[in-house]
Structure 1
Amino acid sequence: MTSAVVLDGPGAFRLAPHTPRPPGHGEALVRVHAAGVCGSDREVYEGNRAPGYVRYPLTPGHEWSGTVEAVGEGVPGALVGRGTVGEGFRNCQVCARCHAGDTTLCTAGYDETGFTAPGAMAPTLTLPARLLHVLPDGVDLTAAALLEPAACVAAAVLKAEPRPGDRAAVVGAGTLAMLALRLLSAASPAELLSVGPHSELADRAHKFGATHYRTESETQGGTDSAGGAGGMGGEGTPGSGARVPYGDFDLVIEAGGSATAARTSASLLRRGGRLVLTGLPAPGAHGLDPATLVMRQTEVRTVFGAAPAAWAHAVRAFSAGLLDPLPLVTHELRLSEFPRAMELVGAPGVGKVLLRP
């Protein structure tokens, strides 16, 4: 008998018998190949996810790849047998935000695979077929299991609007940061800096496209010389004459998940530079100084999840061979080893952890 991971509540893990749910109208049944594990899964396991963003009992798993096994009425039969990945947000497709393509901002309320709806840490997953992104024949489905974080990174890259010849930087050392380096490198930057906590991570950053690497302690921008002392062009409070070292990068993607990473990212930017935040620091963390953002005319954008355009961007890059996330995978475990996977996430030397049915 096949089994699925079920969390009855924080820390309450069990394996439960799994019976595939036949697809209804507009749905597809996917045979799961692999499910990725990320920090948000550990939040669900430990009970740290904000109320309203999780619904127990729950089968987690929002990062996954698989093969379409059956489709319901109204879905093209040609999808059966195709490798696929799928969006997590169960958006309504009716509200103004959905019509604008901003499906992660759906006003019908939050609903996401693996958090409020059954996820992919099971042998099969049934979901709306409109959420699927079909893959070319013969692709590596193990690598494809990382396309959900890649789509989130693609959302950040699209918001950063990289242009050939830009000076770009990525702050962070995890999966999202490495995927951001790879996707930004495809935009032909003049320089692509990676900022991480340890010098030992430099080799991996270079393999994912970085032209330079600095540790966080080494990261200091050049001094901004615009404006006179005591004027609005200075780097401190208007009239103070204070100056803070800043860099000259055109765009920075923050993927470190802390207020410190956000501040480091902002310090790398030139005046008028573009900053995209992807991390979720602890609530109430001391972050960016609004006065500095205004005086430097910093463009700040944020990402939570991935809309269809970002998914399409990531899948195109993967299908074209421009994005290979497989080197980030360090552990592949069985579903029964879910508690072990929770221990591994975020541990030193651990990259991406996958669970296999």
Structure 2
Amino acid sequence: MSKGGVPGEAVLVEAPGTHRLVRHEPVPPGPGEALVRVHACGICGSDREILRGQRPDGYVRYPLVPGHEWSGTVLAVGPGVPGELVGRKTVGEGFRNCQVCARCRTGETTLCTAGYEETGFTRPGAMAATLTLPARLLHPLPDGADLSAAALLEPAACVAAAALKADVHPGERAAVVGTGTLGMLAVQFLAASSPAELLAVGVHDHRRALALGLGAGGFHVRDGTDGTDLPGGFDVVVETAGSAAAAREAAALLRRGGRLVLAGIPGPGAAGLDPTDLVVRQITVLTVFGAPPAAWAHAVRAFGAGLLTPAPLITHELPLRDFGQAIELVEAAAPETGKVLLRP
């Protein structure tokens, strides 16, 4: 089922700290399902947590084939799925929501009350030759789509959820705190809303040229102390760095009555935002964990329209056998390392 008809392989994390390459047997699609040939799968901090045993209880199930950021082509579909999907380039949602609880019925599928289930965490993921999943989770792409770039549409969908909550209006002043993959995607989404000013804020200067090339109008290197070096008066700030310090500094950027969207996930127990400051300045705080269908659709539309260009963020494409090296690249977080992809 893999390229050239050779039996495929998969990365298997047997337990924290233990992984190996195994033979992969495609799972035929059942009713309502689709079988996808994986083109590329991204590595993120969550995959590092899986390998290192740092994922919170209930948010991982071993042994596991990881991989939640992926792109591919539909190979086959099961009963009840339109046959015209076969051959289509696609990406797909990760959350395996129940569709029937009160939260799912209002479109808040990442808050499904049936419990947490997600591709690449509690269900087999895309670090394999193929992936079988419910066809309702697929988002077909244009025929000419760059599938390597499309592998970044999962983090892009999470950022799209943040952008939709930020609701930037033309002429507003906006900022993005964090200049990793999420931050650079956020710059593109916010730039599409025609803000009067768009500032990218990072801890190093090495992302300046990239941020400006993707739509930021300015770049600020924060000193990492108390945020007093930061400019202020912004209407909306999207935080993507995933640290308590970044959240505090993001709040410091805002005008009174401004909007703060937290898209990064800091470690548990971190001393973060000052509630007194939030109340006195009447700051609206919104958060993102995963992406509901509307955010996925938003990201895929932006990608298809050319408003979202993830390709410049990719710095490494490695074979599945280099999973360990890919994790080390992500852990090292060297300035020259951007998005790391695995190719089955």
Fold similarity call, TM over 0.5: yes
CA distance in 1, matches of 2:100, 2:8: 37
CA distance in 2, matches of 1:355, 1:199: 28
> Helix, strand or coil: the match of 2:76?
strand
1:352 corresponds to 2:339: yes
**What is the one-letter code of the residue matched to 2:73?**
T
1:280 corresponds to 2:265: yes
* Aligned with residue 31 of structure 1, among 20, 29, 37: 37
1:192 corresponds to 2:198: yes
Equivalent position of 2:112 in the other structure: 106
> Helix, strand or coil: the match of 1:139?
coil
CA distance in 1, matches of 2:80, 2:218: 50
- Runs of 4+, deviation exceeding 4 Å: 218-222
- Taking structure 2 as the reference length, the TM-score comes to 0.95
Q: Is 346-355 or 322-331 further displaced after alignment?
A: 346-355
CA distance in 2, matches of 1:278, 1:262: 10
**C-alpha deviation, 1:278, in angstroms:** 1.1
**C-alpha deviation, 1:110, in angstroms:** 0.0
* Aligned with residue 175 of structure 1, among 175, 181, 191: 181
* Aligned with residue 318 of structure 2, among 329, 333, 340: 333
CA distance in 1, matches of 2:227, 2:67: 39
**C-alpha deviation, 1:221, in angstroms:** 6.7
* Aligned with residue 18 of structure 1, among 2, 21, 24: 24
C-alpha distance after superposition, 1:13-66 (max 9, x if no partner): 011111100000000000000000000000000000001000000000000000
CA distance in 2, matches of 1:110, 1:82: 29
**C-alpha deviation, 1:200, in angstroms:** 2.5
1:182-221 mapped onto 2 (5 Å cutoff): 182-217=188-223
**C-alpha deviation, 1:173, in angstroms:** 1.2
Which one has the largest radius of gyration? 1
1:138 corresponds to 2:144: yes
> In the comparison of the two structures, how many residue pairs are matched?
335
Asked if structure 2 preserves the Cα contact closer than 8 Å seen for 1:221 and 1:248, the reply is no
1:44 corresponds to 2:47: no
Equivalent position of 2:171 in the other structure: 165
- Taking structure 1 as the reference length, the TM-score comes to 0.92
CA distance in 2, matches of 1:330, 1:260: 27
Structure 2 unmatched runs, 5+: 1-6
CA distance in 2, matches of 1:335, 1:350: 18
Asked if structure 2 preserves the Cα contact closer than 8 Å seen for 1:246 and 1:270, the reply is no
> Helix, strand or coil: the match of 1:17?
strand
Structure 1 unmatched runs, 5+: 223-244
Asked if structure 2 preserves the Cα contact closer than 8 Å seen for 1:333 and 1:341, the reply is yes
**C-alpha deviation, 1:199, in angstroms:** 2.0
CA distance in 1, matches of 2:72, 2:118: 18
CA distance in 1, matches of 2:187, 2:279: 28
Asked if structure 2 preserves the Cα contact closer than 8 Å seen for 1:88 and 1:131, the reply is yes
**C-alpha deviation, 1:138, in angstroms:** 1.1
Identity, % of aligned positions: 68
> Helix, strand or coil: the match of 1:217?
coil
Equivalent position of 1:238 in the other structure: none
**What is the one-letter code of the residue matched to 2:125?**
G
> Helix, strand or coil: the match of 2:260?
strand
* Aligned with residue 262 of structure 1, among 231, 247, 258: 247
Aligned alpha-carbon RMSD (Å): 1.3
**What is the one-letter code of the residue matched to 2:262?**
L
**C-alpha deviation, 1:264, in angstroms:** 0.4
